[in-house]
Amino acid sequence: MSFRFYFIVPLIALLGACATVDFDYPKPESTALENTDDTYAGKQIVPLVALHPGEAGFYLLFDGIDALAARLLMAERAERSLDAQYYLITNDLIGFVFIGTLLKAADRGVRVRLLLDDIQTKGYDAGMAALDSHPNFEVRIFNPFAGRSGHLGDALSDFGRVNRRMHNKSFTTDNQITLIGGRNIAAEYFSARKDVNFGDVDVVGIGPVVNDVSKMFDSYWNHVSAAPVPAFADMPDDPAEALEQLRVRIDAKLDEIRDTPYADAVRVEYMGFEKGDSSIFTWAPYVLAYDSPDKSIKDKAEEAESITTTLARAIRNGQKELIVISPYFVPQKRGIAFFQELRDRGMEITVITNSLASTNHAIVHSGYAPSRKPLLKMGVKLYELKHDPTDVYGVARGGADASLATLHTKAFIVDRNNLFVGSFNWDPRSVDINTELGVIIESPELGGLTAGLVDESLATRTYEVILNEQGEVRWVDHAGDEPVVLMKEPDTSWWRRFTAGFYRILPVKGQL
């Protein structure tokens, strides 16, 4: 789920928001804890790290149920600290399970720091204040909106600021183990919804990468854009009482999910991870890539350290092949020129993105569609995801028969050796506006594994996009005994195609 609507500013005269955000509100500076080798996680991990100097251990999480179980186990094994950084947490079953797990850790004496973007916190002020009232639980909101009942006033009066969002996702316990990737905290990211689920990937990391993620987190946590809850929120009269009410709501939500096939599947994976088999980790050199939090400030953004510098260097170092997996793929002129540069050097390029049927943002598809012809003409191979729910790992085991599958994975593979996993989309919003995070892992094992999964899935899970002899875009379904060529956007209604076409005339491509 990504928010992409603030650029559609109504052409009406409205007063700007009367409320303000007090970015000077006092807040204590804090950093990741260093003395954690004697924790449960430290005792398991430190000896492993000593055997692999200069490398970190990584484990990929393609399955949504696995991804939730890993987070729950990490939180429940935390002894000293837990740092969570997310673009959004929703008030659905998964959101309550997640917050409940963090709260249990705080009750045990674990220092919990929750850093959340403000894109989807409308109505959450009392809950955030409640959590923040716990002596071991601190909440900060990155770049908060001043208007707490709605965002339109901010969009009109302070667009240059509120348009810039923190899209990073990280979860670190005891400064010993970390988890980063593309998943936000909502049911659709963990194969738990009945109507729609997102295919995504996270990576668990141990070793020196954990300190790197912690330093990144600290830079955001202590940044001027990270505001304490009282600096902007509609505060409840009694936060402590609000916390007790929140506990009751959490318990009620847990009761709803406790005896379901989904909960059973999560328990199975939880117990599997609990056995602590260290052989699941692949050890490799890596580079952690992320934007400076200064990117959130318009006047500083141009000079801020950018994730794109690191990513472009890794890609340009490639020799043979680039595979891009991006749900929101909107290459503007400079992006198309970048692909042409790689093609001129002889690199094979494959791009997998959402089809119009599978995307959850038709307006983003309108920005991508015009790039198909120039990319195909230069020899880039394009594939678009079908909306078949069986494409999402974990859906069947969890008992959710989704009517729509959406690609949400943000990854690329260079020469089947260097694998990037993170929050970065190949679109103008990730490049120029939002802050992003990811890791480049130099591993033929993980790069080859991920590329192999792509190879296996292209024929059955995607449509190949081609140009026919007349230079017209067509879609080829390779799932059957013979290829089937489709003349229009597959699995879409006339209205959805019309809507996506209409969006193309809007001057918003740089905001997608």
**273 and 406 fall within a common domain:** no
Domain end (from 280, 304, 331) = 280
Please indicate whether residue 169 is annotated as part of the active site: yes
**444 and 299 fall within a common domain:** yes
What's the rounded mean pLDDT across residues 322-332?
A: 97
Within-domain flag for 11? no
- The span from the first CA to the last CA of the chain, in angstroms, equals 13
pLDDT tens for each residue of 147-157: 887 777 788 88
Does residue 5 carry a pLDDT above 50? no
**367 and 259 fall within a common domain:** no
How far apart CA 471 and CA 376 sit, in angstroms, is 10
pLDDT of residue 390: 60
**385 and 312 fall within a common domain:** yes
φ, ψ of residue 345 to 5 degrees: the values are -85, -5
pLDDT grade for 2, boundaries at 50, 70 and 90: very low
Does residue 12 carry a pLDDT above 80? no
pLDDT of residue 14: 40
Catalytic residue chosen out of the listed positions 117, 410, 427, 509? 410
Within-domain flag for 400? yes
How far apart CA 85 and CA 115 sit, in angstroms, is 5
Catalytic residue chosen out of the listed positions 66, 117, 125, 167? 167
Within-domain flag for 383? yes
pLDDT of residue 11: 35
Within-domain flag for 18? no
The single residue listed with the structure tokens 């909101």 is: 141
Please indicate whether residue 294 is annotated as part of the active site: no
Please indicate whether residue 174 is annotated as part of the active site: yes
**304 and 271 fall within a common domain:** no
**384 and 407 fall within a common domain:** yes
Catalytic residue chosen out of the listed positions 117, 134, 154, 169? 169
* Domain membership of residue 182 as a residue range: 52-280
Q: How many residues does the chain have?
A: 512
Task: Of 114, 293, 106, 91, give the one whose Cα is nearest residue 185.
Answer: 91
Query: What's the whole-model pTM score?
Result: 0.94
pLDDT tens for each residue of 293-309: 999 999 999 999 999 99
pLDDT grade for 1, boundaries at 50, 70 and 90: very low
What's the rounded mean pLDDT across residues 267-292?
A: 93
Within-domain flag for 7? no
The single residue listed with the structure tokens 């890993």 is: 70
pLDDT tens for each residue of 431-476: 999 999 999 999 999 999 999 999 999 999 999 999 999 999 999 9
Share of the chain above pLDDT 70, in %: 94
Catalytic residue chosen out of the listed positions 174, 200, 202, 427? 174
Within-domain flag for 416? yes
**272 and 370 fall within a common domain:** no
- With residue 510 as reference, give the H or E element that holds it: none
**273 and 318 fall within a common domain:** no
Read off the tokens for 370. Answer: 């015009």
What's the rounded mean pLDDT across residues 271-289?
A: 92
**185 and 312 fall within a common domain:** no
Q: Are the CB atoms for 476 and 485 separated by under 8 Å? A: yes
pLDDT grade for 133, boundaries at 50, 70 and 90: very high
**418 and 471 fall within a common domain:** yes
Domains in the chain, number? 2
Catalytic residue chosen out of the listed positions 63, 66, 118, 415? 415
Amino acid 428 reads P
Domain end (from 246, 280, 314) = 280
Task: Of 200, 182, 167, give the one whose Cα is nearest residue 405.
Answer: 200
Please indicate whether residue 408 is annotated as part of the active site: yes
Catalytic residue chosen out of the listed positions 151, 361, 387, 408? 408
Domain end (from 250, 280, 310) = 280
Within-domain flag for 38? no
pLDDT grade for 232, boundaries at 50, 70 and 90: very high
φ, ψ of residue 381 to 5 degrees: the values are -90, 125
**239 and 377 fall within a common domain:** no
**293 and 276 fall within a common domain:** no
Within-domain flag for 461? yes
How far apart CA 338 and CA 313 sit, in angstroms, is 12
Q: Read off the CATH number of the domain in which 304 is found.
A: 3.30.870.10
Please indicate whether residue 415 is annotated as part of the active site: yes
Please indicate whether residue 427 is annotated as part of the active site: no
